[in-house]
Amino acid sequence: MQEIAFYNDQFVDMNEKVVPIQERGHQFGDGIYEVIRVYHGVPFYLDAHMQRLKKSAAAIELQLPFSVAEIKELCMEGLRRSDMEEAEIYMQITRGIHSRQHHYPDQANSVFSMTVRRAKIISSQVRTEGINVLTVEDDRWKKCYIKSLNLLPNVMAKQKAITNGCQEAVYHDNGIVKEGCSSNLFIVKNGVLATYPALDGILHGITRQIVMELAKERNIKVVEKTFTLDDLKQADEAFVTSTNMEIVPLKQVDEDILPTERPISNQLIKAYQRKVLEKVTS
């Protein structure tokens, strides 16, 4: 097994220096990305990730350098070369190489990059015990539904969380809770599952959508609505979702301890694991 990289039009060594100084992704963050989890050699919800990639590209007027079918084939070829069963595919598309100017080049040549790496596995202990989160004021731009390469505010929020002994940062806007810096967020109160609406200000997470569908299949009421920091800290249960973390409960928000009984969270964790098996064996 080995980690695999692809740049522009060919597979390259993971450590090869391939990004030119005039690359707009490097200079401006002028690009988009996706992360896809691979279970037992099968990319999970690949089509949904491709649809979101197209949506992000359209939002910043970026031409994809390959068709969706070709990108999917590159993913599969990377997996074949890596020989990995449990992997993470990271891909990004930038507006390419051009002399430094803020506006779009008249003739941009988009560049596709991809890596296939070993998956980050969340331990059963962490999934059982939960994680601590730190709440921070949302200082990002207003179009977080685009999976843009501009992630410096997220990086700074995550570092602040780590420095304060937490594993994730949760954004709020004047006390209205939105999402984690690398995850979506759900709370449970009186048996109702709530999450911030899929507006421009949050990422429209693939795992987020799967969790809502799984909850509805199990007759768990789901509402997309705004809620406050107090609602989060007084929730019966809370958890974050992402491609890599899947579903991870929260045990502490700032200094507030959440209940350890998590019947709905645990039910959805098991349902998600069954969904993975269903997808990879179908």
Known catalytic residues are 147
Query: Is residue 118 within 8 Å of 84, Cβ to Cβ?
Result: yes
**How many CA atoms are closer than 13 Å to the CA of 178, on its beta-carbon side?**
24
Question: Rounded to whole angstroms, how far apart are CA atoms 183 and 15?
Answer: 28
Strands 131-137 and 246-253: parallel
* Tokens matching residue 53: 């990639």
DSSP string, 129-188: H-EEEEEEE--S-S-TTS-BS--HHHHHHHHHHHHTT-SEEEEEETTEEEEETTBEEEEE
* Cα–chain center distance at 71: 19
Q: Are strands 168-173 and 131-137 parallel, antiparallel or unpaired?
A: parallel
C-alpha distance across the termini of the chain, in Å: 25
Among the listed residues 2, 87, 78, the one whose alpha carbon sits nearest the alpha carbon of residue 40: 87
Cβ pair 4, 11 in contact under 8 A: yes
Backbone angles phi, psi at 92, to 5 degrees: -145, 150
CB burial string 191-202: b at 16+ within 10 A, e below: eebbbbebeebb
